[in-house]
Amino acid sequence: MHLGTAALKHHEQKHYERDNIQRMTGYSWGEQPDAADVIKLNTNENPYPPSPAVAAALAGVDTRRLRRYPPPLANDFRDQAASLHGVQRNWIIATNGGDELLRLLVTTFMEPGTPLATTAPSYSLYPVLAAVQGCATVEVPLGDGFTLPRDLAAQANTAGAGLTCVVNPHAPTGRLFSVADVDALAAALDGLLLIDEAYVDFVDPDRGHDAVSLVRRHPNVVLLRTLSKGYALAGLRFGYGIAQPHIIAPMLEKTRDSYNLDLIAQVLATAAISDQSWARDNSARVRAQRRQLADGLQALGFDVPPSQANFLFARVPSGRDALALKHALQAAGILVRHFPSPGLDDRLRISIGSEQEHGILLQRLSELLE
């Protein structure tokens, strides 16, 4: 008994994590409350439901199929996505959310210790995945007006970055980098370029934005797409990547988890991406609410830069404390996002919600500012 206690204490004191895991900080997600009456404008979810085709597909799932493993490569979905983007199936990989694609890129193409490059600010998961792989992160500050850094490629190449990640439209600012600027970045980089297009479905159509052409021109470019935002399926966890086959193949055939996407997810995602009419209408509704919310915030004294995403990154009125406003809204049952980093800490990131949610938000902000 005495020896058992000593052995137990020995194991309690010993660290089994790899050293780099013990040192790192994990990803911090936004609040996900269970209460139904909370107005959630903090995690960029779609305020409208997914396509009716998704509900019909779910109702039509034969549960007897669940006794077998799902299709390993999600080829039905890949065929639909390939047709949508005008490429072949072997240019598409389906993943468990966009985040799995990010992890696959890091583990497949980055030697441990090879830096990952990105902008500052950017998606906070990038440095977490790099740290898991034992890689440092090179962060290059955005230019004035949240523009793409002119020296991003030079700094990435100097550091020997194996992967550079750019969110476009950018998060958390909502700015859209031009295809020409990203094209030049891809041409100048020595390593891979991941263009994270999680929010691309909300870009104004008159912009004519289409980055798929970059995949065709550059053998080092990967596009990330997700069904979480534009297709209102954040709870499904389904994303995909577009790249030339020499990039897709090793992830698809070697480093991807076996049966990484369950049967139900594949069926629902295929139904969603097949209903492009609904997807276009949904995105149009979000863009209309984006304009309405921007006007309402500006009327209250907020500085609201143009956004091409489903959120606004608004600077609070002069003399106001953004964090205090965030907490006051939270106490009123309204969640928004605040970033404590210098240069960002005077702003709130507000996801686009419904017209009713915006009315409640603006009324409460008006009361707080008075």
Domain ranges within the chain, ordered by starting residue: 39-49+277-369, 61-274
- Strand blocks (E) in 25-172: 39-40, 92-95, 116-120, 137-141, 163-167
Report the alpha-carbon distance of residue 242 to residue 275 in Å, rounded: 20
Q: Reply yes or no on domain 39-49+277-369 having CATH 3.90.1150.10.
A: yes
Report the alpha-carbon distance of residue 283 to residue 229 in Å, rounded: 9
Structure tokens at 28: 């911090």
Virtual torsion, Cα 27, 28, 31, 33, nearest 10 deg:
50
Residue by residue, pLDDT tens for the chain (370 residues) are 455 665 555 556 677 888 888 877 877 777 777 777 899 999 999 999 999 999 999 999 999 999 999 999 999 999 999 999 999 999 999 999 999 999 999 999 999 999 999 999 999 999 999 999 999 999 999 999 999 999 999 999 999 999 999 999 999 999 999 999 999 999 999 999 999 999 999 999 999 999 999 999 999 999 999 999 999 999 999 999 999 999 999 999 999 999 999 999 999 999 999 999 999 999 999 999 999 999 999 999 999 999 999 999 999 999 999 999 999 999 999 999 999 988 899 999 999 999 999 999 999 999 999 8
Decide if 129 contacts 106 (C-beta within 8 A): yes
Q: Reply yes or no on domain 61-274 having CATH 3.40.640.10.
A: yes
How do beta strands 92-95 and 239-242 pair? Answer: antiparallel
What does pTM read for this prediction?
0.93
Quote the crossing angle between the two packed helices 75-85 and 263-274, to the nearest 10°. Answer: 20
The neighbouring-strand residues paired with 18 are: none
Decide if 101 contacts 239 (C-beta within 8 A): yes
How do beta strands 239-242 and 334-335 pair? Answer: unpaired
Of 105, 95, 189, the C-alpha closest to 140 is: 189
